[in-house]
Structure 1
Amino acid sequence: MPYEDHSSEGVRQRARAGRRDRGNRDRLRLAAVDGETLTGETAAGEGCPGIVKPLPPELFIPHETNAEMRWEAMRDVGYHVPNERFFVRNHTSTPIIDAATWHLRLHGSGLRNPRSFGYEELLALPSVTRDVAIECAGNGRSFFATQQDQEITGTPWRLGGIGVARWRGAPLAAVLELAGLTPDAVDVMPRGLDADYVADGVDYGRVRRPIPVSKALKDVILAYEMNDAPLPPDHGYPMRLVVPSWIGLASIKWVGDIEVSTSPLASPWNTEFYRMFGEAYPPGGSAPLSVQGIRSAFELPWEATLAVGRPHVLHGRSWSGNGRVAGVEVSFDEGATWHHTQLLGPHVVPAWTRWHITWSPQEVGPHTLLARATDETGAVQPPRTTHNEFGYLFDAAVRHPVKVVKG
């Protein structure tokens, strides 16, 4: 159902309240699906209520109901992030769902033949396999505060709210066709089966976000495999959307129904949240967020210790929602000079690009590394990101601190 009255003052007040206190949400909601319930006591993710998989500290940084990937743990990992190392972004808790009783319901005015699909029915459809990055819109949020001295709210991600996996599933276009997509359909809105999201006493319902039909037909996947294995519970089992190049919120996990409409759809996730609010934006906020920005990260610990006078091969990865990365530069002197890195397989797939560069530091003491990417559209990571209250889409070159010591 479309979200009502989203332009009213009442909704604006709720949005302001959410921005003030988003981090103080209910820490754990019970997720009940098909009679099964997951609580914080049964979840294996220590420090992150409601996450099922183990979260060893050498691989993850816990953030309440979320778990951030440590970039240093990616140093010896291949192109794809293994399932057990993939970051977790939960609004509430991971539901435990039985695929044998699960079904996907397609409904709405934009369909001639509304219907439901079982798990095995979707597995039997022709499939596609794609390497796609899933990234939280708030990835890099903490740097608004630490680099730009600006106030923000939300999970304080550094750059570990991203992962690339090989996803396999049925094209959403094929499923919509089987349900009789009408020529005048304009929006599709998938909804998850996780518990209702409650913040500041407001129940926003289950996570859902509309997508234009044009995008749904282009490249969206109803995925049931992740890195050649069934989706793990924390990553959407039994079925999730994968929406290439868009913010992670669009890739709804644990999808249970999809509304298709001949009129525009809305939810709190594209009216009150996931749009830019602040002095640089209109009073009602920017348009709803869709395409991700451009970023770079070092596969190096924060405050890493390096020996002076020795060559060190520094590794990293860069990515852009606008397409392939064309080049990456690194600075060892606060951005005064930049040096081109060597890209590894830049034309293989567009999800992200690995790179490396050699540095021989000559002075002991604290140093700051910066990496900036250029994508195929010519977009370059800027030195500073325009502030917004939720801290979305931080795309400036990140200042990565290291310590150079005597060997």
Structure 2
Amino acid sequence: MDSVTRNIPPASLAPSDRFQEKRTRILEAAAAEINARGLKGLTLVGVADAVGLNTTSVTYYFKRKEILAAETLQHAILRYGTIIRAAADAPTVDTRLHKLLALFFDLFTRIRLNQAQPLTNLSDLRALKEPMRSTLIQDCITIVTDLATALRPDDGSTSRALDIARAQVLLEAIRWAVAWLPQYSAADFPRVQARMYDLLAHGFAPKGAIWAPTIYDIDGGDAQAGEISRETFLRAATHLINERGYRGSSVERIAAELNVSKGSFYHHLKGKDDLVLACFDRSYARVSRAQRIALDSDDSAWTRITSSTASLLEVQFNAEFPLLRTTALQALPADLRGGVLRRSNRMAQRFAGMMVDGMAEGTIRHIDPMIASQCLISSLNAAIDFLPWAKARRTREDAIHLYGSVLTFGILGKPPLLQP
């Protein structure tokens, strides 16, 4: 519904228009609830209150909460797809990338000025029931593959695998921008867009840089095979939450994965929110360990950043105990969410500090370190969704090299050969 129609008083609308207007208002209210409290916080009662209807009236438009949730998320995916298709009309990969960021930042500006509805958070999509879950996951895959086609160099010089990796990293950087853009005034968005384009197009590697990272042991033998411990529960929970979302990962299901009782779970953890916080703490501790090992070395900033990045991608693509996806963040109560985000920002700031060191010593290209570090965090976070892609590569080393090259060497650049 366009802005002109939206301003027509309901009484002057035809019956079909009034139906569509109320349906749109319900979808917008549902999106606001999902953004505020995650899919678990979406209720028909809450949506009805937000639009001034009773629950029975809402069920006239959406018979069940699951249907409302699925349509709300599908609408969000369609918004991404519309922007990607519009950007794909530009004549070259350079202009397509530039147009894509321009369209998204125009939307971000209008959202900030209350001229457009916020993008719905897709975090809990995996928690939907079938067949809606598979349908929407396929819709998400489609927008990634469409973007990969748009990013293919005009001379066709890249592999499809690299094009897909570039699309994933770019889309995740745009989605994660919603989390850190509140630190900037809307008046600064054009500068942020330009800096983000520079990073995504050209990377942070200086001319002639060689990809030769060291893979660190960031877990230090913490896991004990066969022992049911707090760590064991965190592993199982991380896998389930990454795969099914917060809502799809019950205490019963986690206990069943380990073939233990619910009582055993509560012996180690107080409840589900405590579990998610513990999973975040464990993941963030591992990221911090990779960063500390890098900082304690005598290597250049370039080697420190690429080695810590490659080590974390090794964790993600190995998949025995991946990092917790930030999709779980939305499900936490608001009073707990802020602390988790602040810790994520501290890790980004540590990467930013490494980049500043590298710019000073000449081993990192001059980029905006704060924006680059947030994009790096988002690419590491999203890597777990790319596990099937990684397994399809010849070796894990090849997967880490290809995926890691997107931010290091840029979407418009060519990843260098691996050092012999």
TM-score normalised per structure 1:
0.24
Higher RCO, 1 vs 2 (CA within 8 Å, ≥6 residues apart): 2
